[in-house]
Homo-oligomer: A and B are copies of this chain.
Amino acid sequence: GMANSRKMVFNDEGIPPGAWKEALENGLPMQLDNFINTIHSKNLRNSVFADVTANEVLATKYDLLLQKSISVVACNKVACSSSYEYYRKLKDLASDFNAHFLFETNVGAGLPVIGTLNDLLRSGDTVNRIEAVLSGTLNFVFNHYNGERSFAEVVKQAQDEGYTEPDPRLDLSGTDVMRKIMILAREAGEHLEMTDIANNSFMPESCMQGDVANFYQEMAKHEAHFKALYTEANAAGKKLKFVASYKDGKAAVGLQHIDPQHDLYHLYGKDNVVLFYTNRYVEQPLVVKGAGAGAEVTASGVFADIIRAART
């Protein structure tokens, strides 16, 4: 079966990969509850449900699937960054009903971040500290902004090149990064809610009010603010990075000055990096780095999760 926001289609023989667009266009009108009920009525054992949307309602239905032993693979971050209670419920259902709940792409797209963290913990290690740059968007913006073009123009470029969420304020505000560090902290065993995470935002408040057009206007007005951030870091020989951290049960996100010796300094394009400091990786962290945004690397991570769910 297959669905988008408008149509849905089921075929007991499978949907030919080359003809999925046509099959979907000729499908029934999409109704989420109908879609879930059809899955249930077909009593599909060992099947995998893949959510490649960012839909909030869909994320509230995962429990209905896991309860029927249907594995859920999601690049959608909503479920894992909703209430701790729901996140916990989904993990427990997966375990109780012998299904998988996999979401490697929630953090760092196709990079092996959550799988690595799970392996460390399963084999008896303890994560003491995480430091990470988890926003391809913010990394792109701060890598391209040097005071020559305005900050607003660089943000617009990131949006035009497809590196931002549909509403770029989710990236610029740090909300998306808060979600990601919360998911990592939860996977490391911490009971955290979004309200527990400190966000030292660098954005003037007026930018975050109103609509996206207002956002760009306000950013342009505050160019001096952004230029000062850049100039100060640059004068000290440092780079600006929007860093997420987790330590001693606390998580925080915010802009930091990074010096050239640091693992976070050499990070280009839309790359992400995660540093795990554990009982075994004490002096030097275990580091995973690479493109952390983009359709292709995200699709590859979703696919790897589907294979993982299907094999077991």
Q: Which residues of A contact B (CB under 8 A)?
A: 110-112, 115-116, 119-120, 122-125, 260-261, 263, 266, 268-269, 271, 273, 276, 280-281, 283-291, 296-297, 300-301, 303-304, 307, 311-312
Question: What's the number of copies of this chain in the assembled complex?
Answer: 2
Pair A284/B307 contact, Cβ less than 8 Å: no
Measured CA separation A111–B125 after assembly (Å): 13
Give A243 Cβ to nearest chain B Cβ, in Å. Answer: 17
- B112-A112 in contact (CB<8A): yes
Report the bound CA distance from A269 to B285 in whole Å. 11
**Cross-interface CB contact of A283 among B111, B269, B300, B311, cutoff 8 Å:** B269
Q: Which residue of B lies closest to A300 (CB)?
A: B123
The reply to whether B297 and A268 form a contact with Cβ atoms under 8 Å apart is no
Query: What residues of B have a CB within 8 angstroms of the CB of A119 in the complex?
Result: 112, 304
CB closest chain-B residue, reference A271: B284
* Residues of chain B lying within 8 A (CB to CB) of residue A304: 119-120, 122-123
CB distance from A277 to the nearest CB of B (A): 10
Contact of A300 among B125, B287, B288 (CB under 8 A): B125
Residues of B within 8 A of A300 (CB): 120, 123-125, 280
Instruction: Across the interface, name the chain B residue whose C-beta is closest to A290.
Output: B286
Supplied contacts A112-B288, A123-B300, A124-B303, 11 more A-B pairs, CB within 8 Å: A110-B123, A115-B115, A119-B304, A123-B304, A123-B307, A125-B300, A269-B284, A276-B290, A281-B291, A286-B291, A311-B312
